[in-house]
Each structure stands twice: as structure tokens, then as C-alpha cells.
Amino acid sequence: MSLKPITVNISEYPEQLCHYLSGAKLYDSSCSPNAKVIFIDRDHGYFLKIGDIGDLDREYQLTRYFYSKGLATRVVHYCFDMGHDYLLTEKIQGDDCTALKYLEQPERLAETLGERLALLHSVDYSDFNTVAECPANHTELYLNRAEINYLHQHYDLSLFPDNWGYASPQEAYAVIEANKHRLQVNTLLHGDYCLPNVILNDWRFSGFIDLDGGGIGDRHVDLFWGAWTLNFNLKTDKYRRRFFDAYGRDIIDEEMLRLVAACEVFG
């Protein structure tokens, strides 16, 4: 996690957040152009995410839900003001899986990632809609986004080109059209299951972060991103098999990963 010291004008923030910002050391820890993230160094630490109005509602709902299952941090405040959403959460103790101490043990990291994902996918989500009032059907949203971005020619062909790559957006979309009926809606997903979003405390699981892409969908979405993140962060794809074995290879369909890759071409 990169931290850059900053100062802010507290008067520009909603009143309920001023207590946390006032007198604290503040750091910019943003890693995406879509939202600003401020680390607030007080008490045990807080993260304040700022997005456009409405952009953080889904993450708020899903973080609350995952917290109710012991899988994420506590939401301290969620509010909107002056055209922005503000989501304040407690810092999860530990480090994300891109920390050097984890990357230096890639076999153990791959196994930990697979075992943790299997535990997530075993969670009973039968109370999901009563706790989180947000769209829970990840598969429906996933396919709708692919269709819209295909029509608007928004795509990225670079994901895993040596494994599940596509020569053209037309080729990828043809795979979606022929196989989209195979995507299930039967598993609680993280939605962006990558090393920076899994927090460990000396190899013990602490929680997940950045849950705005979650919901109920097909397990192979998280499996795809788990394999992708190991390849991206370790600069080799040789740990994918260990990750799949730790998860449970008997319930993985490699052809479904190719379908997920096709959907991911369109964001």
C-alpha cells in the first residue's frame, strides 16, 4: 500500500467525518482513478473512500454484509454530500497479499489464496437480500456490462493472452453469446479476488477489502481473478495449478474460465 502525506480542508467534508480527520495524520492511498482514498492515522486507522454520488453505495452494502459474516471491516460512516459519496471504514489489521513477506513464499501464498477462496464460496448467503439492499445478481450485471461495452466498442484484449486470450472483441463476444447460459448464480463472490484485496495478519486471514464488484454469481469469476493476480504479481503463471488444487480442482471447469475471460474483455 502506497501512502503519500497530504493535507485537506476539513470544512469541505461532511460534518460527521470531521472528528476523524481533525488533528490526524492523513495519507493519500488511492490506487484507482475512479475513487480517492485517504488513510487516516488515528486510533487503529481508518480509510475514507470518496467517489461520485451513488458510486459507493454498492460497496457500502456489500462491506456491511461481508462484515456480518466476519469477512470484512466495519463500516463507520456512509454518507453523501456536495456531489460525492463518502465511505469510512476501519483499517483491517495486517497487510495485503502484495506485501514482500507473502510474495517471497509463492507456493504458500497460492495455497492460502485457494483455501481462503474455497471458504468464501462455502458461505451461506441465504440472508443476503435481507441484509444488503443492493443488486445481488452478479451474473446478470456481468452479462449486461459485457453487452453494453461490446456495443460501444469498449474492450481490453490483454488479459492472459497466452492462456485465455482472444484475437478480437468479436471472437470474445461470440464465446459469451454461445455460453452465457452456463454462468451460474449460486455462490457469494468477492468479484475482484486479487492479492491487494485480501488482508492477512502474519498469514492469518483478517478480511477482504474493495467489495464493490461482489454479489451472487459464478465461482469461476473469482477463480479467474485469483489465477490472474498470481500471474501478474509473481510474474509467472506456474502457481495457478497450486492455487486451483488448494481450492478444489474437482469443481473447476477450465472452459468456464475461458468464458469469464471473454466477459472480462469488456470490463
Mean pLDDT over residues 92-113, rounded? 97
Cell of 137: 445478481
Average model confidence (pLDDT) for the chain? 94
pLDDT tier at 160, thresholds 50, 70, 90: confident
Mean pLDDT over residues 8-17, rounded? 93
Residue 33 CA to residue 178 CA, distance in Å, equals 34
pLDDT in tens, 38-69: 999 999 999 999 999 999 999 999 999 999 99
Cell of 174: 461470440
The DSSP bridge partners found for residue 79 are 86
Q: Supply the pLDDT for residue 184.
A: 96
Identify the burial level of 88 via C-beta atoms within 10 angstroms of its C-beta, where 0-12 means exposed, 13-18 middle and 19 or more buried.
buried
Q: Supply the pLDDT for residue 132.
A: 60
Examine the pLDDT at 19 and tell me if it is beyond 70.
Answer: yes
pLDDT in tens, 240-260: 999 999 999 999 999 999 999
Q: Supply the pLDDT for residue 134.
A: 62
Examine the pLDDT at 141 and tell me if it is beyond 90.
Answer: yes
Mean pLDDT over residues 66-81, rounded? 95
- Whole-Å CA distances, 153 to 33, 147, 166, 175: 21, 10, 15, 16
Q: Supply the pLDDT for residue 64.
A: 94
Over pLDDT 90: what percentage of the chain? 86
Over pLDDT 70: what percentage of the chain? 98
- Where does residue 96 fall: left (phi above 0), alpha (psi -120 to 50 degrees), or beta otherwise? beta
Q: Supply the pLDDT for residue 33.
A: 75
Examine the pLDDT at 119 and tell me if it is beyond 70.
Answer: yes
Mean pLDDT over residues 121-125, rounded? 95
**CATH 3.40.50.2000 at 95-264, yes or no:** no
The DSSP bridge partners found for residue 36 are 50
The DSSP bridge partners found for residue 204 are 201
192 is a catalytic site residue: yes
Domain-by-domain residue ranges, the chain?
4-90, 95-264
Catalytic residue (one of 85, 96, 192, 212): 192
Residue 183 CA to residue 130 CA, distance in Å, equals 24
pLDDT in tens, 169-192: 999 999 999 999 999 999 999 999
Q: Which amino acid is at 256?
A: M
CATH class of 4-90: alpha beta
